[in-house]
Amino acid sequence: MNLNALVYRAPIAAAVSLLSAFAAPAAAQESATLVQVAPIRQAQVASGREFVGTVMPLKLAVIGSAVGGRVVDFPIERGDRVEAGQTLTQVLTGTIDLELKAAEAQLDLMRQELAELENGTRPEELRQAQARATSADATRKFMQTRRKRVELLYDRSSAMTQDDVDQAAAAQVKAEQDYQEALAALELAEAGPRPERILQARAKVALEEATVEKLRDQIAKYTVRSRFAGYVIEEHTEQGEWVSSGDPVAAIAALDEVEIEAHVLEEYVPHIRPGIDARVDVPSLPDQTFVGKVSSVVPQGDSRSRTFPVRVRVTNVIDDGGPLMKAGMLAQVMLPTGAETDALLAPKDALVLGGPQPMVWAVAKSGVTGSGAGERTGEARAVPVRLGVAEGDAIQVIGDLSADDLVVVLGNERILPPKGGGAPTVRWTPKSATAGR
């Protein structure tokens, strides 16, 4: 059973045969009705006073666009429920999408270049450098030998000219330089890329990553989202319209929990503290009663009326039609404002609402038959009650009740008077009594 709102709609007419406050009798039943019962609890509670209040959303936000542009999608309507993160408006991105694609491609290229540097020289490249160094060394040695032969022939005969000697010397010097170049290339290949080049490549990657994130953040701003779950209560744009930066697009109210704001006279404010229980009734929902907790007592009052705003937070009831309590509804808040007195507390599930007056089905312990673990029966009577303060899941009931009574907490909507008249009979097992506490 929902502890935040009673869902039992009482057939109050069934109690007319017992009390004149209710309508004519309904269809009778012959057998005892199976129910669950719970005892009434006697306790010391503060006397209460009722104050008029207004249902207010827990959060209310007018959500605007962070950028200017054309609205290409507006998928919401007034009254729709939206979840946290759900899209409210999509603004045309166009050119910035192309900029993002180009930046992502450039980032991918830079990451590949960085990976190439970090992986160092490939084995194939190293073998290639070694082969070039070996070839250059062989050429260098050949040119050294050839120069010696040319110089020897020049000294011993006229078969070689001075030009031949000079050409051999130049070829030998070039071969030596080629060898040194190949040797240096081999050493570079063996050492791998310089640490400075790797750091430079990493810095370029980080810079491009920042550019991509900046563009993504800009694109995200083109999608206006709800920051919390709630209901659309206002529309400020439509598909095809132009919005400027800062323009509102929709208003969202969070109603899964609501706050009832009541203005309390200053003489009662000292008795009210955050965290205490408070009963809330909404006149437009006569078959419901709610129990919430005081969330705040605003320390700034109205100097003319000498009242202070007190807020009571209540968990709303959400069904297929949306939230039962809607922002702006009139509410009545019962707050403990006086000295403690003896009171009878009944579980909230025992209340039968929706008729001229709240009532409970009570069973006198003295009239119960059965013992041990077996089934027990007793006559139920409809008792009109006035409601007082709340304490947890129990509510003060004022009426023809005593601490020796049991009250029906489950099955009370099925209780009907017998065909021949008289009090209806209910039956339960002992374990059901503890289940209803």
Q: pLDDT tens for residues 173-230? A: 999 999 899 888 888 777 777 888 889 999 999 999 999 999 999 888 999 999 999 9
Name the 3-class secondary structure at 142. Answer: helix
Q: What pLDDT shows up at residue 208? A: 94
Query: What percentage of residues in the chain have a pLDDT greater than 90?
Result: 54
Given the DSSP bridges, would you call strands 223-225 and 33-34 parallel, antiparallel or unpaired?
unpaired
For residues 38-64, average pLDDT? 92
pLDDT tens per residue, range 244-275: 999 999 999 999 999 999 999 999 999 999 99
CATH classification code of 60-94+220-252 = 2.40.50.100
CA distances from residue 313 to 11, 120, 287, 292, 433 in whole angstroms, order as listed: 30, 65, 20, 5, 30
Contacts of 309 (CB under 8 A, 6+ apart): 261, 262, 263, 264, 297, 298, 301
SS3 (DSSP) at 203: helix
Whole-angstrom Cα distance, residue 311 to residue 301? 13
pLDDT at residue 27 is higher than 70: no
Instruction: Determine the length of the chain.
Output: 437
Which of 128-132, 312-316, 423-427 has the largest mean confidence? 312-316
324-369: per-residue pLDDT in tens? 999 999 999 999 888 888 889 999 999 998 888 899 999 988 878 8
Pairwise pLDDT comparison (431 vs 299), residue with the higher score: 299
pLDDT of residue 391: 87
Nearest to 81 by CA among 316, 313, 371: 316
C-alpha span between 186 and 189 (Å, rounded): 5
Categorize the per-residue pLDDT at 281 as very low, low, confident or very high, splitting at 50, 70 and 90: very high
Alpha-carbon span 316 to 329, nearest angstrom: 13
Q: Compute the distance between CA of residue 335 and CA of residue 50 in angstroms, rounded to an integer.
A: 6
Q: Which CATH architecture has domain 12-59+253-435?
A: Beta Barrel (2.40)
Nearest-angstrom CA–CA distance, 127 and 184: 14
* Radius of gyration of the chain measured on its C-alpha atoms: 44
Q: What is the mean pLDDT of residues 97-111?
A: 93
Residues 245-282: b if buried by 16+ CB within 10 A, e if exposed: eebbbbbbbbbbbbbbbbbbeeebbebbeeebbbbbbb
Whether 12 shows a pLDDT value over 50: the answer reads: no
Percent of the chain residues topping a pLDDT of 70: 92
The residue assigned the tokens 């791998």 is 192
Of 36 and 156, more confident? 36
CB count within 10 Å of CB 354 equals 17
Whether the Cβ atoms of residue 19 and residue 384 lie closer than 8 Å to each other:
yes
Q: Where are the domains of the chain?
A: 12-59+253-435, 60-94+220-252, 99-217
Which pLDDT score is estimated for 75?
A: 95
Residue 432 predicted with pLDDT over 80: no
Query: Residue 168, Cα to own-chain centre: how many angstroms?
Result: 86
